Structure 1
Amino acid sequence: CSNKSGNKILYLHFDSLIIFHSITTISKVSVTAGKSVSIPCLYDSRYMNYVKYLCEGYYWNYCNYVVKTNKPDRSGKYSISDDKNQKIFTVTINQLTNKNTDYWCVVEINGGSDHGESFQLSVSSGKNSGGMKWCRLGRNCVTKSSGSIDGTTVTIHTTELNVFTVTMSGLKPEDSGWYWYIQIPVHLTVTEKLINSKYCKRS
């Protein structure tokens, strides 16, 4: 198939999934109508200084950009930010409706074919439910009541009222980043706290 620039691109298909190695994002997110959602899009370090944008539409060839890192959306419907240290750009969609369903996280390639990865929003009027799964975006998942991600211990507890608690033990600053539970993205920031003691003497 060809992209917007008319250049031929070869996609690799595995069980009907298109695999892009340049960008990683959540494939499907359950959201509530009228609310807002922020979607993290991880990108390769070589694209650190490239323009990123959000494209709306089911088909890659015909999607339309709605916001770019160098061109904000004045309507307030969409916003985008780029964290170059973590190599993640985040897109936010406000006032969700059932018409807001298909999007692409895209890196703009000057003089070449843009690189994008799609995600789909499942918009409902009530609370969403799903299987137990706590994941770090681009890494592994914990699918049982306990496990580990990058050496950090994770325990998950769910009550009969569909209230869940995720506990992560032994957190380090490098554990900061995007995680998701039942396809709901959550950003975690881990900072070190300096403890002063009256029993310590300064040299």
Structure 2
Amino acid sequence: MPQHFILTFCFVQWIQVCLCAVTTEAEFSVLEGRSLTIPCHYEPQYAGYVKYWCHGRMREFCTSLARTDEPTAPDGSEQKVMIYDDPVQLVFSVTMTQLKEEDSGWYMCGVEIGSLWSADLHAFTDIKVIHGMSVLHSRVSGEEGSSVKVECFYSEKYRESPKKWCRSGDWSSCLLTDSEGAYTDTSVDIRDDRTGAFTVTYKKLQMRDAGWYWCGAGQQKVSVHIQVLPRVTTTVMPVTTSFTEKAPQPITNSAWNTHSHILGALLVCASFLLILGFAIFARRMWKLHKNDPELRLGEGMKVRFNDYSEEMGEMQASGVVFLNKNSQSSHML
């Protein structure tokens, strides 16, 4: 009975491993001479545990290459394998540099449990270090007249081989680097750093440069497509301080509609002012016409009054004469 209990308990512990407490990609491929970084993810409860990286397919025969509880190499010194744990993101990463073909094989991300009854948690990955070439971007684009770069990578085997840049389908167009790993002309510049990469730079793109190319080393090559975008032109009006006569500008539909609206508004205002002026003039004439008979009646009365006054004066004068005359007659009598 105890033996069955022990076997059951061990089986439960191995189930934890099968539940993918640690995960990573199943396979990685990298060019010889390049570097590779592998992320290993784990569950939150294992954040404080020791993580390790080893070379092998079985834990018992896995050669340890790096551990999080071991000191790292001093700054500035070369270290082929580096490990870094990030408990916040729940991932530890392993970086392997200057890979060679013999570095190919199975590797293991491990979390050390450190218990007699608990197996370490781990995940395996297959790393393949290959010969050949690759590019950073298989498609690049640039505006006409600008510059564009293509980065090509090669494996250690082709370090000393001349590097090529050719237009696809035209072998006569191939440009090769010299013994110094360089090529240059008025439009293209090629530079090989002799560490696994070379760069092709187009100094001034033209529309005819668009198309498929390939960069190569030895018998290896990889395709790249270059797209040339039309240049965007902008018109800049010169700023001058002198007064110059401007050429007449064509009237567009929108400008004509705007002018029509303004002209219509002006005509309405002018018509209103004209009608208002005419109304004021007519009112004044009407007032004058209405007041004219009264003026004439007043003048007539004034004339009659003057005539009456004169007649009264004459009558008074004649009366006096008459009285005087009678006086004289009676006196004479």
TM-score, with structure 2 as normaliser:
0.33
1:94-145 Cα offsets, whole Å, 9 max, x none, are: 111122221000001121311110001111111369xxxxxxxxxxxxxxxx
Secondary structure of the structure 1 residue equivalent to 2:60: helix
CA change 1:110–1:94 in 2 (3 A) is: same
Aligned to 1:155: none
Give the number of the structure whose residues are more often helix, by fraction.
Answer: 2
* Structure 1: 4+ residue segments shifted above 2 A: 7-12, 58-61, 72-75, 159-163
Greater RCO between the two (CA within 8 Å, min separation 6)? 1
1:10-33 Cα offsets, whole Å, 9 max, x none, are: 767xxxxx9451111011001011
| Alpha-carbon separation, structure 2, partners of 1:88 and 1:67 | 15
Aligned to 1:102: 106
Secondary structure of the structure 1 residue equivalent to 2:30: strand
* Amino acid corresponding to residue 123 of structure 2 in structure 1: E
Q: Could you tell me which of 85, 90, 100 is aligned with 2:88?
A: 85
* Amino acid corresponding to residue 23 of structure 1 in structure 2: V
| Alpha-carbon separation, structure 2, partners of 1:21 and 1:115 | 8
Aligned to 1:116: 122
Q: Check if 1:127 corresponds to 2:126.
A: no
Alpha-carbon offset, residue 79 of structure 1: 0.4
Q: Does the 8 A contact of 1:20 with 1:117 survive in 2? A: no
CA change 1:162–1:110 in 2 (3 A) is: farther
Unpaired segments ≥5 residues, structure 1: 1-6, 13-17, 130-158, 164-203
* Amino acid corresponding to residue 110 of structure 1 in structure 2: G
Unpaired segments ≥5 residues, structure 2: 1-8, 136-211, 214-222, 226-333
CA change 1:64–1:35 in 2 (3 A) is: same
Secondary structure of the structure 1 residue equivalent to 2:41: strand
Q: Does the 8 A contact of 1:33 with 1:96 survive in 2? A: yes
Aligned to 2:21: 22
1:144-173 Cα offsets, whole Å, 9 max, x none, are: xxxxxxxxxxxxxxx89367xxxxxxxxxx
Q: Does the 8 A contact of 1:20 with 1:116 survive in 2? A: no
CA change 1:87–1:47 in 2 (3 A) is: same
CA change 1:9–1:94 in 2 (3 A) is: farther
Aligned to 2:54: 55
Q: Does the 8 A contact of 1:56 with 1:102 survive in 2? A: yes
CA change 1:37–1:23 in 2 (3 A) is: same
CA change 1:128–1:83 in 2 (3 A) is: same
1:44-69 Cα offsets, whole Å, 9 max, x none, are: 11100000000111333311211001
| Alpha-carbon separation, structure 2, partners of 1:73 and 1:102 | 23
Q: Identity of aligned pairs, percent?
A: 31
Bigger Cα displacement from structure 2, 95-104 vs 27-36:
95-104
Q: Does the 8 A contact of 1:31 with 1:128 survive in 2? A: no
RMSD value over aligned CA atoms? 2.8
CA change 1:54–1:162 in 2 (3 A) is: farther
* Amino acid corresponding to residue 41 of structure 1 in structure 2: C
Aligned residues, how many? Answer: 123
| Alpha-carbon separation, structure 2, partners of 1:20 and 1:56 | 22
CA change 1:127–1:45 in 2 (3 A) is: same
| Structure (1 or 2) with the larger CA radius of gyration | 2
| Alpha-carbon separation, structure 1, partners of 2:40 and 2:122 | 10
